[in-house]
Amino acid sequence: MINEEKRIQLAKEAIGLIKEFRKEELLVSTEIAIEMEASEDGSLIFFKHEKDGEYEYELKEISEELAHDMKGFAMFGPGFYEAFDMEVSELKDKYEELSKVEFIEFVGKLYYMKYRCEEIYEKLKDIEIKAMQL
Q: pLDDT tens digits for 45-101? A: 999 987 778 999 999 999 988 887 787 665 545 688 888 999 999 999 999 999 999
Instruction: Decide if pLDDT at 4 tops 70.
Output: yes
Q: Taking all residues of the chain, what is their mean pLDDT, rounded to a whole number? A: 90
Instruction: Work out how many domains the chain is built from and give that number.
Output: 1
DSSP line for 86-118 = HHHHTHHHHHHHS-HHHHHHHHHHHHHHHHHHH
**pLDDT-derived band of residue 34, with 50, 70 and 90 as boundaries?**
confident
Quote the domain boundaries for residue 12. 2-132
Please give the share of the chain, as a percent, with pLDDT higher than 90: 69
pTM of the model: 0.87
- What gap in Å lies between CA 85 and CA 96, rounded to an integer? 18
State residue 77's pLDDT score: 55
60: DSSP letter? G
